[in-house]
Amino acid sequence: MDELNKISSLNRMSPRLMVTQLISFGLIVCTALMIWKSLMIVSGSESPIVVVLSGSMLPAIARGDLLFLYQSEKEFTVGEITVFTFDSRSIPIVHRILETHETAQGTFNMLTKGDANPVHDRGLYQGRKWIGREHIMGRAFGYIPHLGKVTIWMNDSPMFKYVLIGTLGLFVIVNRE
């Protein structure tokens, strides 16, 4: 019933108020994008926040946890949690560095493994024996448990995503404050 009242109030809005509300909605979207870009600049990572999509890092990190990443030029160490991806894989992988290796040419490589996985990740490396710095999206420095589950629900159920985004958009447009 409350939703019907909000929709009827949307019909009663003057065109000027409607434009003002749409501009407010646009400003909220632009602010979110500016915050994301600022996080990218500060962290040095193309993706400063990622959601863990699997349980391969249990018990340290669970599916649905939100990880904060940064990128730096310092050497990677065994035991450090990194997020990496390959050009042909759109989903980032969150795993711990198991072993590091430096070639005679000075190239630094590493081998990773999920804490809950029985073997290393060479099967994920698409024919490579090691991954390099160019594959690393970032190093984990903190996380918030379970906060990323909303993202997982939105990906698993597109209808949930559309209803949630539509409801939030409607609240912004209808709110007169």
Kindly list the catalytic residues: 56, 95, 121
Residues near 32 by beta carbon (within 8 Å), at least 6 away in sequence: none
Starting at the earlier edge strand, list the strands of the sheet with 81-84. Answer: 49-51, 66-70, 136-144, 81-84, 93-102, 108-113, 131-132
The whole-angstrom separation of Cα 45 and Cα 4 is 44
Characterize 87-122 residue by residue with b for buried, 16 or more Cβ atoms within 10 angstroms of its Cβ, and e for exposed: eeeeebbbbbbeeeeeeeeeeebbbbbbeebeeebe
155 Cβ partners below 8 Å, 6+ apart? 161
